[in-house]
Amino acid sequence: MDLDSQKQRFYEQVLPSRPNEWEVDVIFECLAALDATRRQALLNHVSAIWPVSHSLCFTYLEEGTQALALFPAELLGEWVRMILTRYERKGLVGAREFMAGVDKFFLGPRRGEAGVHLVEISSRMLLYICGVSGLPLQIAVASLPATDTRTIYLPAYLVLFPEKQKNILLYKLLVTLQWGQLASRIFTDVYDRASAGGPFVGYPDRRLAEDLFSVLQFTKVYRFLAKELPGMVRHGGELCRRAIMEIQPEGDEKERSTALRNFLLHSIGFLDQEEVLVSGATTPLFSLADTPWTTCCLDVLPRFYAYFESLAGGYCLGQAALLLGVFDFLRSGETVRLRREEQKKKFITMLATFLQKKNSEAKSANDGQVAVNDHSSDTLLLLRILGEEGRPGTGLPPMRLADGTSDLPEELVALASDIIKDLGSLPEAYVQTVAGLAGGGINRQEGAAAESANVPAERTAYSYNEWDYRRGGYRDAWCSLYEKTLQPVVSSFVATTLEKYRSQHKRLLRQFAMLRPSRRVVRRRRHGDDIDLDALIEALCDTQAGLPPSDRLFTRSLRIERDITALFLVDMSNSTEGWIGIAVKEALVLLAEALEAVGDSYGIYGFSGMRRSRSELYHIKHPGEAYGMVVQQRIAAITPKEYTRMGPPIRHLTKKLLDSPSKIRLLVVISDGKPEDYDNYKGQYAIEDSRKALLEARGAGVHSFCITIDKAAHEYLMHMFGRGNYIFVNDVSMLPAKMTEIYRRLTG
């Protein structure tokens, strides 16, 4: 087709528009430099560009004559699509810039030149993230973004966008998101929860749980960055949107992938209400995108998981996986542990050195006499740090010692600030260790009247940590537990109880006797106790038939063992006075009689106490101890004592159970209400510490169960013990029967 025919064809394509003839003539003068085939290839795309913009179409034809000298006509279709995309995003000026830079914006990316290698920008990224976070972080290579709290891992190469600057911006966004994960304290939260098998072990679809957790963490961190680094989010928001739009369904069902995509778009502010209505996605969980910063995403995950589990279809994250990253809590947990140990050693060494130097200077000033303040433990206590605990970016006021000394080394103040940010406060154990190194005594700061209990010298003290949920860490060696033997009393209580429940007692003995270890015969063994007649007859028949006989001709008697150790922890607080205490003791009598019938190893302990310095565990029966008159008299001696600090006795009995060789270890708590003590051990604090102690037990392989008569128990026991691990007995008189039945079901 000659030039005039192609010009006429151009006019037909742009109808009903009538462009100026002189503009068309100028363009075709340029096109004349091309052969007819390449001219026609350019003109074939006029119908797609002209309706969008006449000026854009003329520029396309003009620049296209030069572009076809750089790439074959087969690439024109892709070039035109990118031109139209650039026009929609950056207007005519941006589209003209793109067409003028064919090699830079079109061919370069096709050759991979728009891609960015991490090694090219790692030094820049490292300076940026260390400056933003204030942390001595490192950058290394991994397939997906992640962090172990010391090193941020990023992909070795990115080429998601045709513009190199956008790929660099994506690297910057990814490293910032990983810093946000550190600021959220998720790694220390998971480490402090110490769940066996990891935080997702209880979910049927582990991959779905991990992905949804990553989604919740991303939305939480994105909101944090929007406040801390609004410029970063403003420039990176579009990159996030484009990556999220890459989420695609697996299979025909799109319900789950659509809901996931819409939730993420909503969390970054790119989801219009019309889009929600068109997609058909529901919005019941959009409120979870606004989860408070102090709330751990693991606590929100069950509801989030339950919703997505009910949706049909699968999903493929695509490039969105870069935004979500991966979480290696095993590696990060080890890093957290090592970092805390290093900080502890460094703090103790630095503060002890400073105090020794300070005391030496004070002695010299007093002509070699003892310094005025010889209670060095008093000077060791740093004043309480004011401000929000646990929040990233919280400024800390200057630190000083209790004696007014404020000229602390800057390095020591910075280290103490890091420890407080991590643990919520400076652990008392750190200070006590420094006191020993610096020549100090015990900590007198809390006052002798409140904490010094008159404890008999013959009792051994056991120190246990206590979980403080407000700061997300333990109070090291915070509680002292004393184990003592409950003194037996001469009483007819046991005999009266057995007479009162005589018929029930007989029935329990029969039921539990059936659980006793028994023997069963297994057949067709190579070695055994007796001949298996059936197998022998078959072997003789095979021999007569010319077949090789079996050598499995014996039976063996095997003993079925019950490898169980159960410990019962009985609440002896003052709230159990009256009928409640009597019912608990009656239940223990019947349970002990039943367990003697089955032969299980079991122990019974009571607990009470007052304040953290005097938590008491009362020995009633040790595992392996004979159940006789003395144990019966100890059960009769159970009386209400003081308060219910539940964490220390749970941790102590968990330790006892771990010393047991039994395969099944069971801890049964019998209580009439919430954990509470005379000091501030009450409310949510007491519940969270008890829950933490139970989680520690579960992580160590101890199964815990609670029997309660508290009518409000449903409000907190599910949180403490977990679903299905507690029971409420609404009638106190039914406690003896219920207790034995519960044990039979737990171990039968």
> For 637-690, how does the pLDDT look when each residue is reduced to its tens digit (9 = 90+)?
998 888 889 999 999 999 999 998 888 899 999 887 788 888 788 889 999 999
The amino acid at 93: V
Distances (CA, A) of 720 to 542, 690, 723: 63, 7, 9
Q: How far apart are CA 161 and CA 170, in angstroms?
A: 9
For position 387, what pLDDT does the model report? 34
How much is the pTM? 0.45
Q: How far apart are CA 460 and CA 480, in angstroms?
A: 10
More confident of the two residues 219 and 52: 219
Pairing of strands 461-468, 615-621: unpaired
Q: How far apart are CA 571 and CA 611, in angstroms?
A: 16
Q: Is the pLDDT of residue 254 over 90?
A: no
Q: What is the sign, positive or negative, of the torsion defined by CA atoms of 485, 487, 490, 495?
A: negative
For position 391, what pLDDT does the model report? 35
More confident of the two residues 710 and 137: 137
For position 382, what pLDDT does the model report? 46
Instruction: Tell me whether residue 394 is exposed, middle or buried, using C-beta atoms within 10 angstroms of its C-beta: 0 to 12, 13 to 18, 19 or more.
Output: middle
Q: How far apart are CA 181 and CA 392, in angstroms?
A: 11
B/e letters for 655-694, b = 16+ CB within 10 Å, e = fewer, are ebbeebeeebbbbbbbbbbbbbbeeebbeebbbbbbbbbb
More confident of the two residues 704 and 735: 704
In the structure, what pLDDT confidence band is assigned to residue 518 with cuts at 50, 70 and 90?
low
| Residue appearing with tokens 């989010």 | 233
Q: Is the pLDDT of residue 217 over 50?
A: yes
Q: How far apart are CA 6 and CA 559, in angstroms?
A: 97
For position 576, what pLDDT does the model report? 76
Q: Is the pLDDT of residue 699 over 70?
A: yes
**Mean pLDDT score, 589-599:** 85
SS3 labels along 14-52: CCCCCCCHHHHHHHHHHHCCCCHHHHHHHHCCHHHHCCC
Q: How far apart are CA 563 and CA 662, in angstroms?
A: 5
Instruction: Tell me whether residue 217 is exposed, middle or buried, using C-beta atoms within 10 angstroms of its C-beta: 0 to 12, 13 to 18, 19 or more.
Output: buried
Q: What is the sign, positive or negative, of the torsion defined by CA atoms of 708, 709, 714, 716?
A: negative
Confirm if 214 and 326 have CB atoms less than 8 A apart. Answer: yes
Count of C-beta atoms within a 10 Å radius of residue 94: 15
Q: Which structure tokens are listed for 708?
A: 């309660």
For position 465, what pLDDT does the model report? 92
For position 94, what pLDDT does the model report? 83
Confirm if 704 and 721 have CB atoms less than 8 A apart. Answer: yes
Those residues whose C-beta lies under 8 Å from the C-beta of residue 471, and which sit 6 or more positions away, are 389, 390, 423, 424, 425
Q: Is the pLDDT of residue 242 over 50?
A: yes
For position 375, what pLDDT does the model report? 41
- For residue 277, the surrounding DSSP H or E stretch is helix 273-279
Those residues whose C-beta lies under 8 Å from the C-beta of residue 487, and which sit 6 or more positions away, are 634, 637
Confirm if 218 and 265 have CB atoms less than 8 A apart. Answer: no
For position 229, what pLDDT does the model report? 92
- For residue 248, the surrounding DSSP H or E stretch is strand 248-250
Q: What is the DSSP letter of 713?
A: G
For position 647, what pLDDT does the model report? 94
**Mean pLDDT score, 416-433:** 76
Give all strands (DSSP E) within 595-717, no chain letters: 601-609, 615-621, 664-671, 703-708
Q: Is the pLDDT of residue 213 over 70?
A: yes
* pLDDT tens-digit map of 72-84: 888 998 899 889 8
The amino acid at 199: P
Domain boundaries, the chain: 3-110, 116-330, 331-446, 493-512+562-747, 518-560
- Rounded percentage of the chain residues whose pLDDT exceeds 70: 83
For position 371, what pLDDT does the model report? 41
Q: How far apart are CA 162 and CA 4, in angstroms?
A: 38
More confident of the two residues 194 and 309: 309
Write down the mean pLDDT value for the chain. 81
- For residue 556, the surrounding DSSP H or E stretch is strand 554-560
Q: Which structure tokens are listed for 155?
A: 């992909």
For position 288, what pLDDT does the model report? 72
For position 416, what pLDDT does the model report? 82
* CATH superfamily membership of 493-512+562-747: von Willebrand factor, type A domain (3.40.50.410)
Distances (CA, A) of 706 to 165, 617, 667, 734: 59, 18, 8, 16
Phi, psi of 388 (to 5 degrees): -75, 130
Confirm if 304 and 284 have CB atoms less than 8 A apart. Answer: no
Kindly tell me the number of DSSP H helices and DSSP E strands found in the chain.
30, 18
More confident of the two residues 318 and 271: 318
Q: Is the pLDDT of residue 121 over 70?
A: yes
* pLDDT tens-digit map of 453-504: 333 344 578 999 999 887 777 888 889 999 999 988 888 888 888 888 888 8
Distances (CA, A) of 741 to 100, 330, 480, 722, 735: 84, 40, 35, 20, 10
In the structure, what pLDDT confidence band is assigned to residue 596 with cuts at 50, 70 and 90?
confident
| Residue appearing with tokens 């989420």 | 247
Q: Is the pLDDT of residue 368 over 50?
A: no
Q: How far apart are CA 282 and CA 266, in angstroms?
A: 12
For position 59, what pLDDT does the model report? 92
Closest CA to 83 of 68, 98, 72, 69: 98
The radius of gyration of the chain from alpha carbons, rounded to an integer in Å, stands at 37
End-to-end CA distance of the chain: 92
Phi, psi of 195 (to 5 degrees): -85, 135
**Mean pLDDT score, 375-392:** 39
- Strand partners of residue 564: 664
Q: Is the pLDDT of residue 514 over 80?
A: no
| Cis bond upstream, residue 16 (ω within 30) | yes
Distances (CA, A) of 310 to 214, 287, 288, 313, 716: 19, 18, 17, 10, 27
Distances (CA, A) of 355 to 346, 376, 378, 412, 439: 14, 8, 12, 12, 9
